[in-house]
Structure 1
Amino acid sequence: MSDTIFDLVQGDGPLVISMPHCGTELSPGLADRLTEEALTLRDTDWHIPRLYGFAGGMGATLISARYSRYVVDLNRSSTGESLYPGQATTGLCPDVLFDGTPLYREGRAPDAAEVAQRVEGYWRPYHDALAAELARVKERHGFALLYDAHSIRSHVPRLFDGRLPDLNLGTARGTSADPGLIAGVVAAMERASAAEGLTCVADGRFVGGHITRHFGRPADNVHALQMELTQDSYMDEEAPPFAYRPDRAEKLQRVLAAVLEAFAGWRPAQG
């Protein structure tokens, strides 16, 4: 099944994988308003659907955005509150790139009315579909597992110091999923990362964005985790065309498979 706003492939398991930042399409007329640097779509979560393509064989439901985060950021609140108060970040309809340079040509940024239109036209359909899929799998299994899949350049000095670990698991500081589930996923991530020579952290610089924090409600049997990957662990991150690197990706995919197996294999306690 596909939609003009997102692509959806339904699975029969309890796992739903959301990919809100992989889109590269722009809304009508937007390209004419962006800077040359912004037109490279540098801040896209490149190749995420390809990287997680194996998950369909695990029975996962896959929902992936078609439109760029430069149209509207699906991992922000619809009212635009900062995810990390006091720290540099980007907004609901960002006006700067991750490095702080302007996204728009002079005087071409959206006003409040246009932001509201983008929320209704792009943000809300994705979130409604994600909520519907979580409700569907919860109805079938009694619980739902949400994995929000992201990636970012390994070095973005405006957002964080130094180099990020290769895998950055976010659990909203332990509140978005069952503690035992989190512990099992973290252990699987650490074992598999060590075996492949990759680095990892839980609740480091990225603890989970709006999707993880909003939908992760363990008391209501919906458990959410976010994974932020360094792009140099599976692709060329520095310059267009931001090519996928199968030689790097295969190693990372083995770790991701271990993480998803631990996540999707968890079951709530009975009684």
Structure 2
Amino acid sequence: MKIKGFTLDLPVPENTVPLVFDSPHSGTEFPDDFSSPVSSEKLLTAWDAFVEDLWAPAVSQGASLLKAHFPRVYIDPNRAPDDVDARDVDGTLPFTCKPTVYSERGMGLIRKFALPGIPMYETPLTAKQIMDRIDTYYTPYHTALTERLETLHQTFGSVWHIDCHSMKSKGNAMNIDNGQPRPDIVLGDGDGTTCEEGFIAVIEDSFRSKGYSVSRNVPYKGGYLIRHYAAPTRNRHSMQIEINRAVYMDEQAFKPNNHYQTFKQDLSDLTKELCAYIRDAIDPSLSTPIK
């Protein structure tokens, strides 16, 4: 199902498990109203390159996959809708701005810097421009994710959500780990608050068994998406996977490297393990074999 701004890929009904992947930063399609002095190459550094393709096999295994087409530098679905610094707006928004540390670093709902010291815009966006982006892209993306999670939760009594990202191999000055090399995989669950431990353990064990280095919650604990949708006490589990881009791509050329297909298969194997875990966890009468 493709709608302006995003695509939601669904498994066949008889093979469905209550597992949703979403890729909020996979978009590269800039809307017609976008204008910036920043070069395309610099803008691409914010792109979660190829993430939607890496996780695509999950759909044939029973999971759902939501992927944004609009870029995060246009508007960021992984930020709260009021994570805006009013000082960066030309005019007055129809809500109270509540900027977080993301906005302070220039990475709030509306991106302020493409890279450290490189402003996204020559002049502030108007309140109308920001509201148009919220209404046309941000809200529909969240509505689609909300409805899919709710449908699966109502059907199965539980739902698991994985927010999918990629990260530069080293942090920059806009990150909390500036200049530090990063592990292959970072699993974020808000320091154990957004997802049940068993699910996280399956993911960590799978990556480690294949030789990848794995960290939990350092440097990423998970952003707005997992914190907003998680409610473990109500069997709604949400966590974030950050993949080091050096694992699967040439970061300078923005192209897949020689390990790309192997890594994609490793993710496919992981998804099979997660689907099996979920089928064991839910009511057996609602479970169907992996086709």
* TM superposition score normalised by structure 2: 0.81
Partner Cα separation in structure 1 for residue 103 and residue 6 of structure 2: 32
Retained in 2: the 8 A contact 1:148–1:225? yes
Q: Which amino acid aligns with 2:168?
A: R
1:169-208 equivalence runs, <5 A: 169-178=187-196, 182=197, 184-208=198-222
Which shows bigger deviation, 256-265 or 166-175? 256-265
Partner Cα separation in structure 1 for residue 82 and residue 74 of structure 2: 15
Alignment pair present for 1:97 and 2:109: no
User: 1:61-115 deviations in whole A, cap 9, x for unaligned?
Assistant: 11100101111000000000556579846110101024342222x22x3133322
Q: What is residue 3 of structure 1 aligned with on the other side? A: 3
Retained in 2: the 8 A contact 1:72–1:118? yes
Alignment pair present for 1:128 and 2:138: no
Q: What is residue 79 of structure 2 aligned with on the other side? A: 76
Q: What is residue 243 of structure 1 aligned with on the other side? A: 255
Which shows bigger deviation, 204-213 or 230-239? 230-239
Q: Which of 171, 182, 194 is the equivalent residue of 1:156? A: 171
Change (3 A) 1:221 1:185: closer
Which shows bigger deviation, 190-199 or 11-20? 190-199
Larger radius of gyration: 2
Partner Cα separation in structure 2 for residue 175 and residue 187 of structure 1: 14
Q: Which of 241, 245, 256 is the equivalent residue of 2:267? A: 256
SS at match of 1:148: strand
Change (3 A) 1:269 1:82: farther
Q: What is residue 86 of structure 2 aligned with on the other side? A: none
Unaligned runs of 5+ in 1: none
Retained in 1: the 8 A contact 2:6–2:69? yes
SS at match of 1:97: strand
Retained in 1: the 8 A contact 2:43–2:73? no
Alignment pair present for 1:115 and 2:130: yes
Change (3 A) 1:137 1:189: closer
Cα RMSD of the aligned pairs, angstroms, is: 2.4
Aligned length: 260
